[in-house]
Each structure stands twice: as C-alpha cells, then as structure tokens.
Amino acid sequence: MEKILSQEKLREWVDMLDDCEVYAPAFADSVWNHAKIEAGVNIDLSHTNTIGSVKEFVFPQREVFFRFEKKDGVPVLTPTLPDPKPTVVFGVRPCDGRGMPRNDTVFNKEFEDPYYWARRDKLTLVGLACNQPHSPNCFCQSVGGSPHSEDGLDILMTDLGDRYHVKGVTAKGVEAMERGRDAFDTVCDGDQTEVEKIHEASRSHPQRPLGNLDAIPEAIRESFDSPLWADMAQHCIGCGICTFLCPTCHCFDINDEVTSPTTGEGERVRTWDNCQFPDFTMHTSGHNPRADLGSRLRQRVSHKFLYFVENHKTQQCTGCGRCITECPVGIDIVAVLERVSQ
Amino acid sequence: MVNVEEIRDYAASLLEKEEVKAVLGFRRGSASAFAEPCTITDAGEAASLVWDPTCLNNLALYLVKDRKQQAAAKTPDNRPVGIVAKGCDSRAVGVLLQENFFKREDVVVIGVSCEGTGVVDANKLSDKLKGRTASLITFSGAGDINVSVYGDETETAIPAREILADRCLECRAAAPALHDVVFGDTVEARDFNEPFHAAKEAESVSEDERWATWEHHFDRCLRCFACRAVCPMCYCPECVVDSTTFVVTLGTSAEEKANRIRWCERSANTSESAVYHLTRAIHLAGRCIDCGECERVCPVNIPLRLLNTKLEKEAFEMFEYQAGHDIEQASLLSSFRDEDPNSFIR
C-alpha cells in the first residue's frame, strides 16, 4: 500500500492510533531521543538519528523475568511476561530498521525469547528515509543497506517537502495505515517519480567506504594476535557507550535483585551487558581471558564483522555510526576495519 | 595566541632527549570535528599535535592508566610521561600528586593556557545546531567560534561565550599553575561568569523542583559508566557502585565472592542510578578539579558537573579549599585543623 500524507495530517493519523503507545523523536537535553507522544503534542521529524536505538523497545535495558518470595518456607515464583500495549515508533531511520531483523535472529534462532517476542509482536516501526546522511559517520551503504532501506520496517515514509510518501511494507504496517485512512491521499504518477528521484539522490551522497565486505572476516581472523588492537584501543576508557547505543548489540546479564532479605522477596532481572566491561569475561578463578581493552575492542569488531557473518551470513552492523560519534575518545570502527584490512 | 608549533617542538625535543617515554596530546581524528587524544612516542609524530578549543579531553586519565599498566607489568617502564594540559587538567595532575599516585618527577606538564577562552561544550553546540553534526570548528582568536555544519555549505560564527563549557566561563585559572612549561599568555581573570555560577543557579530553585530535575536525569542514565571510566580521580581498581569492576584474584575466597555486597544493583532505574551518581559525587568531594569530562562523555547529557561543583563550592565556602590548586597542601578529606569547631574531631 502506498499513500500520500500531507505534513499537517501526520498528527491526524497519529491521533487515530489512539489504542497504541506512540513514540517519535524529540529534541530534549541537547539530544534527539524517542519520546512518548501524548495527545496534542507536535511531532517533529526533522531529527538526525536518536541517541538510543529502537532495540530499546524490544530489549529494554531492564527486563524482569519473574518475581520470587518465600511463603511458609517455600519459594514462590510469579511470572512477569510483559504484555505491552501495541506500540508504534515514528521516525525510525533505515539503519535502525535493519538492526531489527538481526536482533530477531538472535532472539529466535536457538531459543525463542518470550520476553523479546512479547514486545516485538506488538511493535510497529514507521521508518523515515534519510534524504541525505545526517552525520559524516553514516555508512549504511557500506554495509549493504541504503538510506531508504525497508528492511525491518513496517512502513517507510519519504519526506517530499510539504508531504510524505508513505509505503506499507508489512501487514502490520498496512494495518496501521488503514487505521488512518482518511488522513491519506492517493499517490499520483508525479509523486512516484519524485520519490524515486529523492531515493536516488539520497544514495549518491558519499559515505565512508569499507571496501570489500567479503574480505573483512578473513582480515580480522588473520589479525587476531596483531598488536594493532592494543594500539587502536590505547585511549579506550572501557565504558559502555558503543555497545549500549548500538542497534544490534544484545549481550545481557542476569541478576537476582533481592528487595527484602527477611521475606526473600525480589526479582530476577535481565540487564544490558557489555563486552567492554572488565567483568564481562571474568572467570570465577580470577582469570580474565580478555583482560585488556585491545582484546575487548577486537571482540566487539569481530562479533560484528566475523562471528556474526559466520553464524548468520550478514554483518551485525548497519552503519548508523553511533559508536563512532559518541565515543568519548574518537575510536572509529570504520577506521579500525580499514587498518585491520590493510 | 598559542603557537602550536612551539608545543610540537617542545614535545619533539622531550622525546629526542629521552626525557619522557611518551607525550600525551591531541590530534585531529577521523570521528568528529573535536580533537582526539593521542600518545606519541616518536619525535617525528609531534607534527600531528594540535591545540584549539576542540581539545576537550583531560589527558591526566592516561597518566593514571599508564601507572596502573606499569604496576601490573612484569618489566615496568617507569620513565616519565609528558602531558599537554589545560589549567583544569593540570589540577588533575596536582590532585594525583597530592594523593601520591605518582611523583612529580614522573610527569612533565606541558601547560597550555586557554587564554581567556576555553573549550567548546558539545551539548551547547548541539542545542545551537538542533542535533546536527559540526564538521569543522575553528577559533579565530577573537570572540567567535566558527562552525561548519555537516551537509551544509555555510559557516556560522557563534559568539564563544554561547558555546563554551560552563567550567570555562567560570574558570579563574586558565593557565596551568602546575607546569614545567607554559605556552600561551597567562591570562588569569576572565569576565564571563563568576565561579560556581551554574551551581548557584541550579541551587536557586525549590527543593521539589531540584528533585524533579534529578529524578528526570537519573531516570535517563544508561549506566554505561563512561562518567566513572573517564574520570582521572576514579582510579579505584574496584568501584563500590560499579559492579562491573569486581576484582577477583586467585586468592579471593568463594565466600567473599558469594557475600559481596552490591551497594548498587546493575539495573538502570531511577533509585539505583541515583545511588551510583550521588555516591560517586561524594567520593569526589574535595578532589574534583572541574574538568567536566563526566558531563562531556555522557551520551544522554546528564549535567553531572553540577553535582561535583556543588560539592566543590561547599569545600571552598567551608574550608577555602580548591582541589589541585596547591600540591603542597594536604588533601581536604585527609586533613584536619586543631581549631575545627566540631567536637567529633577531638
């Protein structure tokens, strides 16, 4: 389904999704991030990319697995499978959209993660094509994506200046569009040509090249013991920014959080974890196989461009550039791959 | 004006004469318009050093890192290290000296005066550009900072005081007091904001409003620990509020591992993140030298500097203490005065 939506009718469409939680980018605290859209709030799709990726909607930083307590000396477990309202996210950039099928694979391949899927099944992603890259660190095309990729999105919107071209990509997307029926206009031939022109132009902007993607896994494999890693991680501070903001990083930790030691009440929770933290690979013996930051940088890059390719035949990176832009010390995954490939 | 060639020549000569094993400085990076840290070990590399208001990092962090590495090394290399330091960065070196983290002869401070300006605040710049990326940031030496926006042909001149970091607007010691050499004019007084201006402003609202503000910020915290990881004063091998740094050795008993108290859970929720940030702030009282690194690196822009400067304000008002200003002075929390009016001291 393809439709035209004038700028001023966007709000009308959103209002018709009244049984859903609607999120859209908002600029607050000096940064774009997802914000819940309440009735009457203006939606501003002039955003660059949000600091947090859409993975937060399916893989929240804190997920309660179950609650536990002791009743008459017997442990009692209460399930806490999430049952969220249908959620629609507007303004999703195609790189984030492409992250989603990668996450789906991880949370489905060997084990279907019920917590992930309870949220995923209720989530509709409304993408917005990037008419031009919003950061010099964008490299979606270098990892097989495109600024108007539909991969992982339920709807793709393209900004035509005074109106949007809106394309329903999945059944979920078409359903969301049907709910806003009266807000939409039909597409005429001229619109179609304009969309194609804009998409073509969006692909013509130079992006940072990665060279031959197929050669990267071998280059990484060969450089496993290279001193390059320590050199490139020389100024790494070992924080979690690169992985926490990444649309495809999905490592987690599981802890029991006891709220009352007397009644044994508490929750088992899953929280984001991070290969850059020292305890990530810490063995109980005290031995840490990845004791230094060089080996942790190698792990992050290898997971995305070697192990994931071996396991799932695609890169675990969609070129959003967050890990580059937000790194406090300028560690740049494109430059890292370039040096490893040399 | 600082002539960057002088910094390069000095760094190169230190390396040539083998007075230092490395020089910590700034270079242009591939990731952004801001400079990135570099460690040069060869005099030939000194040509890549840069100096301008995009040199944000406090490189004293890498002095700490080096000391830790050498302490763990089988054959430690304890030769001195040179460091390019702004006024605030030199105070970090000062606190580390006061706390005996290393000795004065272990470090060569290549002081650089901020000369009445300071460094650009990436958040203020982001507000000006509504999140768009600056591709080039230059300082003319006059009152403006010129910014080119990525994807835009035009260059905009922004008055420096509108995008300089709050700490620079409040700074009274732009020229490094602790130094082996200083480049640039040693301009002391600047007429931007009074010291602790931002903290005083934050204090001026009601308690309820303050709590609402901080609840909002703690709620947004991702607990990526970048603020702790970047802080040169947060050198503890094991952080009481960062569970990711639990130090386990062959000698750690099973009991110790099992019974370790988690003062702060891994969950990034409002209360745990409040405990994390407030504990960290308290542990920095009388030690924070106001380099603003915690606030700069925060990916969701929590105004962390305010927590620290609030405590430094207390230290100054109560004890006239300024962290890192005088290395001969005993550090605030490890000293007392006989004339202290409080009875607990006696």
- B273 interface with A at CB cutoff 8 Å: no
Contact at CB, A136 and B133, closer than 8 angstroms: yes
Quote the tokens at residue B69: 């590495």
Contact at CB, A48 and B38, closer than 8 angstroms: no
Distance (Å) from the alpha carbon of B315 to chain A's nearest alpha carbon: 29
Quote the tokens at residue B36: 């990135």
Question: What is the distance between the alpha carbons of residues A227 and B114, in angstroms, rounded to a whole number?
Answer: 36
* Residue whose token pair is 């230094």: A292
Amino acid at B122: A
Of B61, B131, B296, the CB nearest to A48: B131
Burial B269-307 (b: 16+ CB within 10 A, else e): bbebbbbbbebbbebbbbbbbbbbbbbbbbbbbbbbbbb
Handedness of CA B326, B330, B332, B333 (dihedral sign): positive
Contact at CB, A240 and B225, closer than 8 angstroms: yes
Helix (H, G, I), strand (E, B) or coil at B198: helix
Q: Got the DSSP string for A92-129? A: E-HHHHHHHHHHHHHTTSSS--HHHHHHHTTEEEEEE-
Q: Which residues of B touch A253 (CB under 8 A)?
A: 266
Residues of chain A with pLDDT under 70: none
Instruction: State pTM to two decimals.
Output: 0.95
Burial A76-86 (b: 16+ CB within 10 A, else e): eeeeeeeeeeb
Helix (H, G, I), strand (E, B) or coil at A319: coil
For B236-255, write each residue's pLDDT tens digit.
999 999 878 888 888 888 88
Counting every residue, how long is chain B? Answer: 346
pLDDT at A232: 97
- B135 interface with A at CB cutoff 8 Å: yes
Distance (Å) from the alpha carbon of A186 to chain B's nearest alpha carbon: 32
Amino acid at B16: E
Contact at CB, B224 and A234, closer than 8 angstroms: no
- B270 interface with A at CB cutoff 8 Å: no
User: Testing the interface with B: which of A29, A242, A290 to mutate, by most B Cβ within 10 A?
Assistant: A29
Contact at CB, A286 and B220, closer than 8 angstroms: no
* Burial class of residue A49 (count of CB atoms within 10 Å of its CB; 0-12, 13-18, 19+): buried
Contact at CB, B266 and A269, closer than 8 angstroms: yes
The residues that bridge with B25 in the sheet, in sequence order, are B38
A172 phi and psi angles, rounded to 5 deg = -60, -40
Q: Which residues of A touch B222 (CB under 8 A)?
A: 61, 240, 244, 272
The per-residue pLDDT of chain B, averaged, comes to 92
pLDDT at A239: 96
Distances (CA, A) of A64 to A54, A119, A155, A267: 19, 13, 30, 6
Contact at CB, B229 and A237, closer than 8 angstroms: yes
Of A62, A136, A284, the CB nearest to B150: A136
Cβ atoms of B323 and B309 within 8 Å: the answer is no
Of A135, A286, A332, the CB nearest to B250: A286
* Burial class of residue B138 (count of CB atoms within 10 Å of its CB; 0-12, 13-18, 19+): middle
Cβ atoms of B287 and B314 within 8 Å: the answer is no
Question: What is the distance between the alpha carbons of residues B174 and B168, in angstroms, rounded to a whole number?
Answer: 8
Choice among A3-17, A239-253, B182-196, B256-270 with the minimum mean pLDDT: B182-196
Distance (Å) from the alpha carbon of A57 to chain B's nearest alpha carbon: 15
- B253 interface with A at CB cutoff 8 Å: no
pLDDT band at B346 (very low <50, low <70, confident <90, very high): low
- A210 interface with B at CB cutoff 8 Å: no
For B115-149, write each residue's pLDDT tens digit.
767 899 999 999 999 999 999 999 876 788 999 99
Amino acid at B46: A
Residue of B nearest to A60 (CA): B268
Cβ atoms of B182 and B175 within 8 Å: the answer is yes
Cβ atoms of B238 and B228 within 8 Å: the answer is no
- B124 interface with A at CB cutoff 8 Å: yes
- Which comes out higher in pLDDT, residue B187 or A196? A196
Distance (Å) from the alpha carbon of A15 to chain B's nearest alpha carbon: 26
Strands (E), chain A: 2-6, 21-28, 31-36, 62-71, 74-79, 87-92, 123-128, 155-159, 163-168, 252-260, 265-272
Which of B259, B266, B269 is closest to A261 using CA atoms? B259
For B54-97, write each residue's pLDDT tens digit.
999 999 999 999 999 999 999 999 999 999 999 999 999 999 99
Q: Which residues of A touch B293 (CB under 8 A)?
A: 328
pLDDT at B189 over 80: no
- A238 interface with B at CB cutoff 8 Å: yes
Contact at CB, A235 and B34, closer than 8 angstroms: no
* Burial class of residue B252 (count of CB atoms within 10 Å of its CB; 0-12, 13-18, 19+): middle
Question: What is the distance between the alpha carbons of residues B2 and B85, in angstroms, rounded to a whole number?
Answer: 13
- B237 interface with A at CB cutoff 8 Å: no
pLDDT at B185: 83
For B292-317, write each residue's pLDDT tens digit.
999 999 999 999 999 999 999 999 99
Contact at CB, B31 and A137, closer than 8 angstroms: yes
Provide the percentage of residues in chain B whose pLDDT is more than 70.
97
Distance (Å) from the alpha carbon of A172 to chain B's nearest alpha carbon: 30
Q: Which residues of A touch B297 (CB under 8 A)?
A: 237, 239, 241, 328
Residue of A nearest to B221 (CA): A61
Distance (Å) from the alpha carbon of B343 to chain A's nearest alpha carbon: 37
Cβ atoms of A186 and A192 within 8 Å: the answer is no
Q: Which residues of A touch B61 (CB under 8 A)?
A: 237
pLDDT at A171: 97
- B299 interface with A at CB cutoff 8 Å: yes
pLDDT at B188: 59
Residue of B nearest to A28 (CA): B127
Residue of B nearest to A131 (CA): B151
> What number is the average pLDDT over the span B185-198?
81
pLDDT at B333 over 90: no
Longest dimension (CA), chain A: 73
Interface A-B, measured as beta-carbon pairs within 8 A, has a size of 148
- B132 interface with A at CB cutoff 8 Å: yes
Q: Which residues of B touch A241 (CB under 8 A)?
A: 224, 226, 297, 299
Task: Kindly list the strands in the beta sheet with A2-6, ordered across the sheet, starting from the edge strand earlier in the chain.
Answer: A2-6, A163-168, A155-159, A123-128, A87-92, A21-28, A31-36
Of A239, A282, A283, the CB nearest to B224: A239
B36 phi and psi angles, rounded to 5 deg = -120, 155
Which of B125, B144, B141 is closest to B56 using CA atoms? B125
The residues that bridge with A265 in the sheet, in sequence order, are A260
Handedness of CA B14, B20, B26, B29 (dihedral sign): positive
* Burial class of residue A269 (count of CB atoms within 10 Å of its CB; 0-12, 13-18, 19+): buried
Q: Hey, which residues 275-294 in chain B have their CB within 8 Å of chain A?
A: 293
